[in-house]
Amino acid sequence: MIYAKQKHSEDKSKLIRDNIELVDILVGRMATQVPAFMNRDDMRSAGLMGLIDAANKFDTSKNILFKTFAEYRIRGAIFDEMRKLDWFSRTLRDKQSRVSKTMSSLENKLGRDPSEEEMAGEMKLGLEEYQNLLGQVSHLGCVSLHEALDNSGEGRQFIDELVDESKGSSPVDILENSEVTAIIADILGNLPEKERLVISLYYYEELTQKEIAEVLGVSEGRISQLHSQALINLKNKARTRLH
């Protein structure tokens, strides 16, 4: 028994050693997604804690690569650190809440996803003002993926259901291994086309927002807006379906 425990500890240490470069890779990718005052050392420290957490929680019986599992834990740890620093002001949180509530209200009223023009009108904003608002709360949307999905007390996070367990598959094609995964897959499949495409390219193809902008032929700021709106949309729908 003592040997088994020691062996397990050595396995975790090897996972950490073999994948430590992944932390630096992700820090490099995420550098443009965090506030200027959060430097790379802060990100790397948080990322290392995420890697250690991944090694401790990794289940070899599941059909998933450790690298894939670790990537999401590292990202989550960095976003958690940003949340601890509380760099999101109450004003930004209030703005995101306003967008979220307006989107839910309009969806219930229209029986479909509202357009940006309809969202702007409901919020008594010009279209450009609404799109600028989406850009302002874009980072907050990313962090919200690491909050609890529901009130079950099981600690399920939205980002956990976006883990790609079969590289190369689209979000909708991911094996529906659980009820929650099935719900998320259904929600993803029914998002407006541009929002679905941005989510797919960002979380599954691992393109940066700049690269996605080049693929779609729009500005990087526009991708940030679509990304923000898609995350708010996803979270609203997930909470409704899971409650």
| Confidence check: pLDDT of 141 > 90 | no
**pLDDT, tens digit (0-9, with 9 covering 90-100), for 177-199:** 456 667 777 888 888 898 989 88
The pTM of the full predicted model, rounded to 2 decimals, is: 0.58
Enter the DSSP assignment of 125.
-
Interior/surface letters 60-74, b for 16+ CB within 10 angstroms, e for the rest = eeeebebeebbbbbb
Residues 98 and 164 in one domain: yes
What are the backbone angles phi and psi of residue 113, rounded to the nearest 5°? -70, 130
Residues 57 and 146 in one domain: no
pLDDT > 90: what percent of the chain?
Answer: 26
Residues 69 and 115 in one domain: no
The pLDDT assigned to 85 comes to 65
Per the structure, the complete domain to which residue 50 belongs is given by 2-85
Place of tokens 């990087």: 220
pLDDT > 70: what percent of the chain?
Answer: 74
Domain closes at, from 21, 50, 85: 85
Residues 74 and 109 in one domain: no
Residues 108 and 208 in one domain: yes
**pLDDT, tens digit (0-9, with 9 covering 90-100), for 195-233:** 989 888 887 777 888 899 999 999 988 998 998 898 888
The pLDDT assigned to 32 comes to 72
Residues 60 and 104 in one domain: no
Domain closes at, from 46, 70, 85: 85
For helices 90-110 and 220-242, angle between their N-to-C axes, nearest 10 degrees: 70
The pLDDT assigned to 94 comes to 85
The pLDDT assigned to 130 comes to 94
What is the C-alpha separation between 156 and 154, in angstroms, rounded? Answer: 6
Split into its structural domains, the chain has a count of 2
- Look up residue 104 and give its amino acid: S
* Residue 88 structure tokens: 């999101």
Residues 127 and 235 in one domain: yes
Residue 6 maps to which CATH number?
1.10.1740.10
* pLDDT band at residue 89 under the 50/70/90 scheme: low
Distances (CA, A) of 143 to 29, 53, 146: 16, 18, 6
Residues 142 and 165 in one domain: yes
| Confidence check: pLDDT of 165 > 60 | no
The pLDDT assigned to 177 comes to 47
Residues 198 and 215 in one domain: yes
Residues 211 and 190 in one domain: yes
Residue 193 maps to which CATH number?
1.20.140
Q: Output 130 or 137, whichever has higher pLDDT.
A: 130
Average pLDDT of span 32-56: 85
The pLDDT assigned to 52 comes to 93
What are the backbone angles phi and psi of residue 148, rounded to the nearest 5°? -60, 140
Residues 107 and 6 in one domain: no
Query: What is the rounded average pLDDT for all residues in the chain?
Result: 78
The pLDDT assigned to 49 comes to 93
CB 83 within 8 Å of CB 143 = yes
Nearest to 165 by CA among 139, 184, 150: 184
Residues 156 and 198 in one domain: yes
Domain closes at, from 55, 85, 115: 85
What DSSP line would sit under 193-226, residue for residue? HHHHHHHIIIIIS---HHHHHHHHTS-HHHHHHH
